[in-house]
Amino acid sequence: MKLPYLERLAQGVLVYDGAMGTMLYARGIFINRCFDEICLSNPSLVTEIHREYIRAGAEALETNSFGANRVKLTSFNLEDKVEAINRRAVRLAREAGGGDSYVAGAVGPLGARLQPIGRLSEALARETFREQIGALLEEGVDCLLLETFKNLDELMLACDVCRELSAEIPLQAQFTVGSDTISEEGSDARLIASQLQARGDVDVIGVNCSIGPADMLELLSLIREQVSRPLAVMPNAGLPREMEGRLFYLTSPEYFGEYALRFVEGGAAAIGGCCGTTPEHTAAMARAAAARSIRRGTPGPALESAPAQAAPRQELPLAERSRLGNALAREEFVVSVELVPPTGTSLDGVIGSSRRLYRSGVHCINIPDGPRASSRISAMLTSLEIERSAKIETILHYCCRDRNLIGMQGDLLGAQAVGLRNLLIITGDPPKMGGYPEARGVFDVDALGLVSLIKRLNRGIDLGGNALREPTSFVIGVGANPGSLSLEREVERTFKKKEAGADFVITQPVFDVDLLLDFLKRISGTGLPVLAGVWPLASYRNAQFLNNEVPEVDIPGHIMARMEKTGSKEEGAREGLSIASEIISEIRHHVRGIQISPPFGKVATALELLDLTRRSGGDAGGS
């Protein structure tokens, strides 16, 4: 039996459909036509589009009534069809959904400015909204969806009318802003969100249209600070391009799905698509929503479908899982160095470097998994060969981007079988960031979901709820960015990662010690040991690149000034080492270790940094 709308939102993310206008346009309905009127003149076309979205995985359908108000319909000489269009729009959506889907009565702006700026009086605006909303209510929608409002006063007026007509109907109010988070009418997104929150009678607050997925994610992070109600996000498929007189939206369904995962993790209760989105985009969103329960650390559909759940077994103590686990359990200061797998077919160089690091007393070698969406020798095979040949443990980065859940579990069981024990779980960069932009990301789960899965394996239960013959014994690491622009979310996710099963944290490179110390204070309640990332700057040019082109890396001005004063490359490298050594000395007693990422993979730089730190009195661990 279908739950009431708000109860369904409380159960987990709800997937809405995508654009109706885009689909009608693609089927030959020109943009000078009234799209809402197609409900009367070609109802089967509207029904079929609704059904395509249902087949793609949509759980909620918007009625094809966005512009079906008297003001807009007058321009098409259809002002006498308001009730007929809105009622038919509800019936078509209900018919397509078969009673199992939610039908949201879509209401858009009136298409004319309110007085005193425009010609539309408040009284006429109220009556216009009342006529449309009344028809939707009489036909029995599951909720009212006010969407794409640019003017705060008009949106508030529409909310008033909804509540005048019904105090019980769930009300979802959505607005639209540009990439600068300002509406065309000049209202800031935070102001609009806070005003909707303050009303007390708006059940769901959302944003849609105008911007693509990346900007929408930033907007979601911004407004969630103002809102305690369920949030909805419905971005466009990027910005439109005109080709031979037709408009095309070029954001791929795969990219859209990648961001859908981020929307859910960012707190969205409902996700959907606006202009340019299609059933393919909806299908990608639905796949992201299907992974949500694993991502949140609770049994998902695949786990619940097992006839009987195996009983979890006792997890092996951290100190007994690996040498790294033992060092963390004993609160020993850990030193790790990052070595990126080569792009060719020979591992001789990385193995030779690992041997040098082992002799220097380094505890572990960090092995990234396709960093910046690059294609290199398998990180898992690289880790295996290093441990076999160089006799030093590795921390294998494992990325969610390139494998589905079945492949991930197979890899993890294989890693256990060959003796790899230390993992750093990361979501991964979208493929479009690398040299293979046409490749498709999978993103069945993100880092949080994969940590939850590995924790289950450590307790002897596989993805299907079946008992493993022997539990795995992984030491589970996660990433964190103390300099994140969304620091509250970063802190919250760190706590969630701890709850999911994380054993330690490795941070992004630290240049601002104060930021790190503040972050450590905020996450102290997790009890997680933290290894701080350290990146010796190679030159002033290198510092400029990191500061300006690497996301969320912020190098303080005093460090940039020091690097700018250097002349030659050699001077820049020496100053970079001095700065890194000073940072290690400052944070030494606040963290449980460091991860050194030598620029350009130069092991000599890492060794020189460790030597410099020891000579300056800041013990960096090792021999």
Does the pLDDT value for residue 245 go beyond 80? no
Burial of 455 (0-12, 13-18, 19+ CB in 10 A): buried
Q: How far is CA 418 from CA 199, 347, 388, 472, in A?
A: 59, 18, 10, 11
Question: What is the average pLDDT value for the chain, to the nearest integer?
Answer: 89
Q: Give the whole-angstrom CA distance, residue 149 versus residue 154.
A: 7
What mean pLDDT do residues 324-333 have?
96
Residue 143 phi, psi dihedral angles, 5° rounding: -160, 165
CA proximity to 262, closest of 324, 311, 214: 214
Q: What is the pLDDT of residue 439?
A: 57
Indicate yes or no: pTM above 0.85. no
End-to-end Cα, the chain, rounded Å = 66
Q: For 568-574, which contacts have Cβ atoms below 8 Å and span 24 or more sequence positions?
A: 569/538, 569/539, 572/537, 572/538, 572/539, 572/540, 572/541, 572/542, 573/536, 573/538, 573/539, 573/605
170 versus 294: which is more confidently predicted? Answer: 170
Partners of residue 231 on adjacent β-strands: 205, 268
Q: What domains lie within the chain, and their CATH numbers?
A: 5-293 (3.20.20.330), 321-480 (3.20.20.220)
Hey, CA dihedral for 40, 45, 49, 51, is it positive or negative? positive
Q: Give the whole-angstrom CA distance, residue 181 versus residue 150.
A: 11
Q: Which strand (E) or helix (H) includes residue 85?
A: helix 82-97
The rounded Cα 484 to chain-centroid distance in angstroms is 14
Q: Is 396 helix (H, G, I), strand (E, B) or coil?
A: strand
CA proximity to 133, closest of 116, 117, 101, 157: 157
Does the pLDDT value for residue 305 go beyond 50? no
Look up residue 466 and give its two tokens. Answer: 């079946």
DSSP code, position 188: B
pLDDT in tens, 70-92: 999 999 999 999 999 999 999 99
Least confident of 454-468, 556-570, 572-586: 454-468
Length, in residues, of the chain: 623
